[in-house]
Structure formats: structure tokens, C-alpha cells
Amino acid sequence: MELLREKIEKEGQVLSDTVLKVDSFLNHQIDPMLMKEIGEEFANRFSDQVITKVLTIESSGIAPATFLGLTIGAPVVFARKRKSLTLTDNLYTSSVHSFTKNETNEISVSKKFLSADDNVVIIDDFLANGEALKGLMDIVNQAGATVVGAGIVIEKGFQLGGQLMRDQGLRIESLANIKSLANGKVEFFD
């Protein structure tokens, strides 16, 4: 996706060989025009599937997931990382360890919003080690729903998550796939 690549090249800051800061359009400030195109691109990529629900994880997955939901007319559910005051029981839960942040989050989704009839696309902003994807897949499996694939805004292809999940048979559609962040430079896979 050309517009996304340009945005990464122009505004992305390489913080280290493994971390890319994109807070001017994805992780803090959100560019709604870009998000709209991202939602439409995900919809195109999954146009061969009937999707009944879009599933993501708070917080940065919510914007791209919502624009996909808007484009295809499907509801969007986000897994919560923090305990909610009103969301107390009847939950699917899973554990997500972040190697990047060195913390583990218990994630949860109300059983009200996912069922065995659902065909789910999982959306997230970054794919690094695949831990968030694994946790979300676990939740979909607990619900007995079907995962039709995962849509990722930025995959860090030099980390192992994408390979690992594809090897398990998951269809992954990445809108930008980064080959390297070495020497302060973003290099993409073609």
C-alpha cells in the first residue's frame, strides 16, 4: 500500500534496530484519511470472505479495525487489556506477553460479542512476535468461531511472528512489511 509506505518513510522514526515510532499517524495521533484507505484496503484483501465480526486489541488496533468495520458493515470488538468495571464475568480471557514491553496482559472479550456463528477477521497495528495474534486466536477458538485471517498494518518481517502464524495456517495480510530497521533506515520487503 503505497500511501502507507510513503507515510512510514516520511514520518516514521527508527528508534532502534527493532522499534519504529509511528505515533504521528497510527499509535497516538491518528490520520483518519490514511485510516480510511487502510480500512478499504483490508476490505479488498478479504473480499473473498464473508466477515461477520472484526476483532482487535486496544488501543492502537481500534482505529484500523473500525475503518474496516465501517467499509464492510460489520461490528468491531476490541479485546480489553485492563479490567473493566462493568465487564466482570462471562468473559473469554487469554494471556498476552509482550517481548517489546516486557509485560504480560490478561486480555478479555465478553461472551456476548463472539459466538460460534462468527467469521472473524483479526486486525492489529503491528505484528512483531505474534503474541497478540496468538491471544486473539485463542479467544476466537474459545468462542468456537472461525478465523478467516488477520490484517496487519505494519508487519516487522524480520521478527518471527508472521512466519510462525503463517506456518500454523493463518492467512495474514500485511499492508507494509518491513525487512530491516538497521542503521536507522526503514527497508521494506517488495
Annotated binding site for xanthine: which residue ranges? Answer: 20, 27, 156
Nearer to ligand G4P, 145 or 154 (CB): 154
The reply on whether position 100 binds ligand G4P by CB under 6 A is yes
Residue 27 engages ligand G4P in binding (rule: CB under 6 A): yes
Cα separation, 90 vs 183, in Å, equals: 48
- Alpha-carbon gap, residue 31 to 73, rounded angstroms: 21
Q: How far apart are CA 155 and CA 161, in angstroms?
A: 9
C-alpha cell at 184: 536507522
Q: For the CA atoms of 60, 149, 118, 69, what is the dihedral angle to 10 degrees?
A: 40
Candidates 69-77, 107-115, 123-131, 141-149 — which segment interacts with ligand G4P by CB under 6 A? 123-131
C-beta of 189: minimal distance to ligand G4P in Å?
15
Angstrom distance (rounded) from CA 146 to CA 168? 15
Cβ of residue 79: shortest distance to ligand G4P, in angstroms? 10
Between 52 and 123, name the residue whose CB sits nearer to ligand G4P. 123
| Dihedral sign computed on CA atoms, order 92, 133, 2, 32 | positive
- Minimum distance from residue 170 beta carbon to ligand G4P (Å): 13
Q: Counting contacts by CB under 6 A, is residue 66 touching ligand G4P?
A: no
With contact defined as beta carbons under 8 Å apart, do 150 and 171 qualify?
Answer: yes
User: Residue 151 interacts with ligand G4P (CB under 6 A)?
Assistant: no
- Residue from 20, 91, 109, 148 touching ligand G4P (CB under 6 A): that is 20
Q: Which residues in this chain contact ligand G4P in the complex, by CB under 6 A?
A: 19-22, 27, 57, 59-60, 98-101, 125-132, 156, 161
